[in-house]
Amino acid sequence: MSTSTVIYLGDLRTENTHLKSGSTFKTDAPLDNNGKGEAFSPTDTVATGLANCMLTVMGIKARDLDVDINGAEAKVTKTMTSNPRRISRIEVIVKLPSDVSEKHRIILENTGNTCPVIHSLHPDIVKDIEYHWVL
């Protein structure tokens, strides 16, 4: 069963539809690669997908531990390189509630650091992940 459809809209843009839910998003080529930068670029979606995955699996684990991490947020910075043009580094800074015990913090950070996307990214991509328990 297919996961999604991608339609090329022209002008270096795509429209993506998740088949099960019908939700959509568009991508646009970035300014530094002939685009307008008016939406996520394809590589932005990859980098952001890492943070999405981390917070999702951490949310599953937090629910299992009866810990509330609602409101947790992640800031993602993607760095590109050339020859070949690719993602060279993804920095993720995760902010989480400060009232989580040290034991649960360790469990949740380990969960985030072992999410499926982190294991799916090329090993040459530097993954710089920080956790701040400040919310």
| Beta strand ranges found along the chain (DSSP E) | 4-10, 13-18, 24-28, 73-81, 86-96, 126-133
Side chain identity at residue 124, one-letter code: D
Give the range of the structural domain holding residue 11, as residue numbers without chain letter: 4-33
Which residues does 49 contact at the CB level (< 8 Å), separation at least 6?
117
pLDDT tens digits, one per residue of 26-80:
999 999 999 999 999 999 999 999 999 999 999 999 999 999 999 999 999 999 9
Total number of domains constituting the chain: 2
Looking at the fold, whether 57 and 76 belong to one and the same domain comes out as yes
**CATH number of the domain that residue 88 is part of:** 3.30.300.20
- pLDDT value of position 40: 97
Please give the model's pTM, rounded to 2 decimal places: 0.94
Helix, strand, coil percentages (3-state) for the chain, rounded to 5, are: 35, 35, 35
